[in-house]
Structure 1
């Protein structure tokens, strides 16, 4: 009986230690990220075709095809962003410029540099970058990154 209890306790201890080892090595492999939004080494890519000319996106952290990705979204001054929606909610901070954002059924909101905004998933919205220079927006997505023109099919 004592040998059986010892084997069970030893097995539990081994499982616990392996679990802790896996947890700690997973955390140890992930690196921190620190980037300035005007860093010349940022890699910028294009936006979906329905977005205005000069629109660019840079991935700061994560994989856009997976959950929890942070991006920079940049449009030139005086650009209008047509009605669109995202599968994911978006958390945003305007880093430069001035932007008017209008969510369907709500009054327009003016974002100034440093403003935070939250956009619910699947809620159609438009935006316009003002004339004070390009608008650069930090956006954190919970779900994979997408931008769909028009309104979602309900």
Structure 2
């Protein structure tokens, strides 16, 4: 005999299943979970969307993996093509990057420029001095980013 709590849990899971049907298990749209507030995503199953931001050239793609870019904190994976430039900008939110793939150049508004061959870690507080990123990889650049507040980009 099922308890009311168990039945409600089953019905909730059924509703969630029907909502995410059509999205492969393990993708960012249908992550795997072993329990409450767990998110497990297979990057091979990622569902990408164009990253449409005013002032940003077409070609960048985003896969949101947690949260909502317009509300509170969020996490995403961003993919940019070779020779792609993200112009000098800042954000009101704290940013944490884990660079996963591809060589890139990070520039500061004061003119310093640093080249990275690949995986690296970047942390900027909200309203940090402006910075720019250029993917110099032969194929593409891929990085994880976490914002502590709603996403914005200020040029």
The normalised TM-score by structure 2 is 0.68
- Asked if 1:33 corresponds to 2:39, the answer is yes
Identify unmatched segments of 5+ residues in structure 2. Answer: 1-34
- Greater RCO structure (CA 8 Å; 6+ sep): 1
| Distance in 1 (alpha carbons) for counterparts of 2:142 and 2:50 | 14
| Distance in 1 (alpha carbons) for counterparts of 2:40 and 2:117 | 23
1:126 pairs with one of 132, 136, 139: 132
Q: CA deviation at 1:65?
A: 1.6
Distance of aligned partners of 1:112 and 1:30 in 2 relative to their CA distance in 1, 3 Å threshold = farther
- Asked if 1:81 corresponds to 2:86, the answer is yes
2:115 pairs with one of 103, 110, 130: 110
Q: CA deviation at 1:119?
A: 2.0
Which runs of 4 or more aligned residues in structure 1 lie more than 3 Å from their structure 2 counterparts after TM superposition? none
| Distance in 2 (alpha carbons) for counterparts of 1:100 and 1:86 | 19
1:92 pairs with one of 79, 91, 97: 97
The normalised TM-score by structure 1 is 0.69
Higher helix share: 1
Distance of aligned partners of 1:134 and 1:67 in 2 relative to their CA distance in 1, 3 Å threshold = same
How many residue pairs match? The answer is 121
User: Which structure: larger Rg?
Assistant: 1
Structural RMSD (CA): 2.1
- Asked if 1:55 corresponds to 2:86, the answer is no
